[in-house]
Structure 1
Amino acid sequence: MLLWALIVGLSFPAVGLMSEGLPPLLLTAMRFTIASLALWPLVRRAPAFRPSRQGLVLYVLMGLCTAGFFGAMFWAAHRATALSMSTLYVSVPLLAYGLGRLFGVERRAGGLLAILALGAGGALALAWAGKAGQAGGLQLGAGETAFFLGCLGSALYPVLTKWGLARGWLPDGAGVRTFWSLVVGAVLVGLMGLAAEAPRALAAMTVSDILLVAYLGVFSSGVTYWLMQRGTGALTPGAVTAYTYLVPFVSVVLVVVGEPERMGWQWVPGSLMVVLAIALLLRRPVDPPATPAAPRRCAASS
């Protein structure tokens, strides 16, 4: 999950390098397709590769979650700063914890909730530091609103995964789960893109745009969702998504490296809070998830 946080943190500036005017939904479908093709040789002979009927329904819902998040990410790329987007992303752990409680896959854990609050406070402090000296302070614009809705879908993704694993509707292999959710997501978001956007706009893509989409497809989509699936198999949704608190910290490091003149004391409190939250999370014993009892039927159904 530490590697996951690093890749996600690097993806926000990468998205901002894309040319303006490109269709975000179709770009997202391209990302998912590239990620699926990269995973195909690794999972096609895996046990329980073919999904059950119940599993297919869950994959559709999970595909919608990923499609919503990445579609919002592309759309907001030129309407919100990379630091603002990565900071909004810190709402995901608290949302995942609450949704996990609602679905019965997250136990009541005051210690975890305190860690989530500490990390969220640190991320917000980094946001204030990033906005220092700018008129208007933190504002909620159209880009930020759309991206927050995408974050809601991102929070629901591990909850649905944990819920499906508990009921035996999803296989144990993280690669298989990642592959099918991305395939379904590519189909769904591609259909939405064809209906709402102009495919001919893709002709404006430059070589650098194509390389960026390929990078984001393999790493920011394929690898990160495989890592999250691996983590979700062992941790609760709230604990898994808590590592998103490192994402704005990565963005801050990039800002400081690229613009060292911006380095100052205002970055220290938030950075320390985020690092402390992750350290406490790593030292915290893994609690068994509160999973509803259900027969494991995935292998038989497949």
Structure 2
Amino acid sequence: MNNSSAMGAHLGMLLWALIVGASFPVVGLLSEGLSPLLLTAMRFAIAALAMLPMAWRAGPAVPNLRAMLLYAVMGLCLAGFFGVMFWAAHRVSALSMSTLFVSMPLLAYGLGRVFGVEAPAHRLPAILALGAVGALALALAQSGGDLRGLQFGRSEGAFFLGCIASALYPVLSKWGLARGALSRDAAVRTFWSLALGGVLIAIAGLVTEPVAAMSRMSFGDVLLVAYLGVFSSGATFWLMQRATGALTPGAVTAYSYLVPFVSMLVLFLTRPDVIGWQWLPGSLLVVTAIALLFRGRAGQAAAPAPGGEGTLRMPPR
């Protein structure tokens, strides 16, 4: 893997964090009472359609059975995370959700070790731990330092399973790439995982949610969902798949630490009165972790050698 590929992957994930972090206020503009799973299925359908022209240019062939099964499992990871996230939204405190969510990069690294797509290392886990502490500090700042919302029960356990599913998505992508089971084109991988994930989420929504609630969607809601589908789902998953070809799962998911930082910046722009010193420690830790990841070789992985499917060569740490 050359340095330009790694640099492009890092820059792409910085853009990913900006898009995701700036999308949270947009979600809040949607009308209340709409079915969240069906909304997500609509987002994924729009995202898959947005990816279709790029995927078609890479080759219109339908994946073989082996690849389709792997895409289905990847889609199940997406459906599992978003389904559990919406289910837990009214059962788990924001602080508990934030605390569990920041474990995702470390989970991705651990799962990557199990699947053989992460090399034994000390630097990358240390960077991930630093970013996790910073993201937790930002979550505490947002909660005003109130720890009463931090708890762990059955609902939190279910959300943690969703975080594991989300962490498994880039791991399976890297594993499939290393074994030649998935397309080398990021748009193709994005299209099929979103399409199958959207189908699974739609089935769950049709079974558990009132379809009639979607009739209350306004034209503005449709435009917002279209924006979220194209940018917050299609573009972000394409950027993630693009980075997966050059970085390991732990490094890719580490950029999720920047999401609360970007959301904090958006909050400051809209409500400058909330700016205070309590945001500074977490911000510094998160920015330091991403800077260390960006400038070093931690989390970079070489592509499989020609004819060497199933073997992923890692650079020395």
What is the TM-score normalised by the length of structure 1? 0.89
Counterpart residue number, 1:181: 193
Pick from 298, 301, 307 the counterpart of residue 288 of structure 1: 301
Per-residue displacement from partner, 1:217-269 (whole Å, max 9, x unpaired)?
11111000000000000000001111111011011112222221211111111
Q: Secondary structure at the match of 1:195?
A: helix
Instruction: State whether residues 98 and 136 of structure 2, in contact with CA within 8 Å, keep that contact through their aligned partners in structure 1.
Output: no
The letter for the 2-side match of 1:237 is P
Instruction: State whether residues 117 and 175 of structure 2, in contact with CA within 8 Å, keep that contact through their aligned partners in structure 1.
Output: yes
Counterpart residue number, 1:44: 56
Cα separation, partners in 2 of 1:29 and 1:268, compared to 1, 3 Å = same
The letter for the 2-side match of 1:63 is G
Range with greater deviation from structure 2 (269-278 or 9-18): 9-18
Q: What pairs with 1:1-302 in structure 2 (closer than 5 Å)?
A: 1-47=13-59, 49-76=61-88, 88-132=100-144, 134=146, 136-139=148-151, 147-285=159-297, 287-288=300-301, 296=309
CA–CA distance in structure 1, aligned partners of residues 235 and 118 of structure 2: 25
Range with greater deviation from structure 2 (178-187 or 223-232): 178-187
Instruction: State whether residues 135 and 257 of structure 2, in contact with CA within 8 Å, keep that contact through their aligned partners in structure 1.
Output: yes
Unaligned runs of at least 5 residues, structure 1: 298-302
Cα separation, partners in 2 of 1:46 and 1:200, compared to 1, 3 Å = same
Per-residue displacement from partner, 1:68-103 (whole Å, max 9, x unpaired)?
223344445566687875664322111100110111
Percent identical pairs in the alignment equals 64
Q: 1:195: how far off? A: 1.7
Q: Secondary structure at the match of 1:177?
A: helix
Q: Aligned residue pairs: how many?
A: 297
Q: 1:33: how far off? A: 0.6
Q: 1:143: how far off? A: 7.2
Cα separation, partners in 2 of 1:144 and 1:290, compared to 1, 3 Å = farther
CA–CA distance in structure 1, aligned partners of residues 91 and 274 of structure 2: 22
Q: 1:136: how far off? A: 2.6
Q: 1:128: how far off? A: 1.1
Instruction: State whether residues 63 and 185 of structure 1, in contact with CA within 8 Å, keep that contact through their aligned partners in structure 2.
Output: yes
Instruction: State whether residues 29 and 186 of structure 1, in contact with CA within 8 Å, keep that contact through their aligned partners in structure 2.
Output: yes
The letter for the 2-side match of 1:109 is A
Instruction: State whether residues 35 and 218 of structure 1, in contact with CA within 8 Å, keep that contact through their aligned partners in structure 2.
Output: yes
The letter for the 2-side match of 1:23 is S
Q: Secondary structure at the match of 1:285?
A: coil
Q: 1:147: how far off? A: 4.3
CA–CA distance in structure 2, aligned partners of residues 82 and 16 of structure 1: 15
Q: 1:16: how far off? A: 2.9
CA–CA distance in structure 2, aligned partners of residues 90 and 51 of structure 1: 34
Question: RMSD of the TM alignment (CA)?
Answer: 2.6
The letter for the 1-side match of 2:199 is V
CA–CA distance in structure 1, aligned partners of residues 127 and 109 of structure 2: 12
Instruction: State whether residues 100 and 106 of structure 1, in contact with CA within 8 Å, keep that contact through their aligned partners in structure 2.
Output: yes
Unaligned runs of at least 5 residues, structure 2: 1-12, 311-317
The letter for the 1-side match of 2:301 is P
